[in-house]
Structure 1
Amino acid sequence: MTWKDSCDIITSCVNIKGELALYALIKFGGKQYKVVAGEVVLLEKVDGNVGDSIELKDIIFVADEDKKMVESSDLSKANVKGTIVEQAKGNKVIIYKHKAKKGYRRKRGHRQLLTKVMIDEISIGEKKSKAPERAKIVTKKEVKVPTIKKAPTKAVKKVVAKPAKKTAVKSSTKKTTKKSSVSKKSSTSKSKTASKPKSK
């Protein structure tokens, strides 16, 4: 987290009048998040479709300009509601294992499933902090595009002549070369025997 991100968190807890807005600390997926009404939070995978409303129940701390609640009896009155904006995946993390001089190497990638949640409302009993009005979340729908009909085209088949004669020619040339090499060998062996004088 950079200094700019921390500044954004501090300013997001201050409303238009400059007063400290109602905010809460929630626990989700083994992590703690500071949430304010109207803010989008990236949580670990939440079951549901885009546009579904959810209630975040595990609240650790709620703060207002008047009071701060930590005790479980006070937190039971607190409530945080949100809407699923998007189901996404996080950045790829590479897991690499290596043991020296053993030839052991394992490389594996992982992308965490995440859910973007818009915090709609934080309430403590009667006191509520609601998100400002926004455009409704539109789910992705299939849009039918009109297709233009083309005139049917005649399929033209290409006729390719098979090279049957070429294979016959090649095989006949191979036979003639074999015969000529055999005849050469036999002629050389005859000449050798003719040149040697007969011994008595």
Structure 2
Amino acid sequence: MYAVIKTGGKQYRVAAGEKIKVEQIPADVGAEINFDQVLMVGAGESVTIGAPLVSGASVKAVVLSQGRHDKVNIFKMRRRKHYQKHQGHRQNYTEVRIEAISA
């Protein structure tokens, strides 16, 4: 069984037992969280698509860790104009393990 959930402005295809990194969620490590925005649920050949959400569906997950992704370097330059700009960014994430999908 799998589901498509929406969190942090992105969509993720998840199944029970998977580990995924999502946008930062304010939760403690070891806490159980519930994703209510389920867009689609599939089990074998049967697929349920929500309009826009599947009613009564939810996905349970456990927070494994909080962290930061690798640094993304931004470098802007205009040739022959003596313009160079360096910038960096590290995005926060929450790593979760999907425990159960209920439809």
2:23 is matched with: 44
Deviation at 1:73, TM superposition (A): 8.3
Check 1:104–1:26 CA distance in 2 against 1; reply closer, same or farther (3 A cut).
Answer: same
Q: What is the aligned-residue RMSD (CA, Å)?
A: 1.6
Residue among 99, 115, 118 paired with 2:97: 118
Distance 1:40 1:56 in 2: 14
In 2, Cα distance between equivalents of 1:71 and 1:39? 22
CA drift at 1:32 = 1.6
Looking at secondary structure, tell me which structure has more helix per residue: 1
Residue equivalent to 2:6: 27
User: TM-score with structure 2 length normalisation?
Assistant: 0.90
How far did 1:95 drift? 0.7
Q: Which runs of 5 or more residues in structure 2 are unaligned?
A: none
**Equivalences for residues 1-200 of structure 1 within 5 A:** 22-65=1-44, 67-72=46-51, 75-124=54-103
CA shift in 2, pair 1:74/1:34, >3 Å: closer
2:19 & 2:77 partners in 1: Cα distance?
39
What is the percent sequence identity of the aligned residues?
37
Paired residues, number: 103
In 2, Cα distance between equivalents of 1:122 and 1:64: 11
Say which structure is richer in strand. Answer: 2
- Per-residue CA shift, 1:13-54, capped at 9, x if unaligned? xxxxxxxxx100112222221111111111111111101111
Q: Offset at 1:104? A: 1.2
Greater relative contact order structure (CA < 8 Å, 6+ sep): 2
Larger radius of gyration between Structure 1 and Structure 2: 1
Looking at structure 1, the residues matched to 93 and 41 of structure 2 have their Cα atoms a distance apart, in angstroms, of: 25
Gaps of 5+ in 1: 1-21, 125-200
Q: 1:64: Cα distance to partner?
A: 1.0
- Stretches (4+) displaced over 4 A: none
